[in-house]
Amino acid sequence: MQHIQVFCSQLEQLIQQLHAFHAVSEQMELQIVPTVDIAGVKSSLAEYQRAVRVQQPLTSSVLLSGQLLLRCIDHMSPFLRDTLQLIKSHCGALESRTQPLLCSILSAMESLSHQNTQTRVEEAASSLS
Q: Is-contact 65 3, C-beta < 8 A? A: yes
Nearest-5° Cα angle at 89, 88 to 91? 65
How many angstroms separate the CA atoms of 61 and 57, rounded? 6
Average pLDDT, the chain: 79
Residue 10 has pLDDT above 80, yes or no: yes
- Model confidence pLDDT, tens digit, residues 107-125: 888 888 888 777 777 777 7
CB 12 within 8 A of CB 78: no
Element (H, E) at 79: helix 78-128
pLDDT of residue 74: 66
What number is the average pLDDT over the span 89-98?
A: 84
Express each pLDDT in 17-61 by its tens digit. Answer: 888 777 777 766 666 555 567 777 777 788 778 878 888 888 888
Instruction: Quote the longest CA-to-CA distance of the chain.
Output: 83
What is 2-26+37-121's CATH number? Answer: 1.20.58
Q: What does the domain layout of the chain look like in residue ranges?
A: 2-26+37-121
| 3-state DSSP assignment of residue 35 | coil
- Give the pLDDT score at 6: 85
More confident residue, 74 or 13: 13
The whole-angstrom separation of Cα 75 and Cα 90 is 22
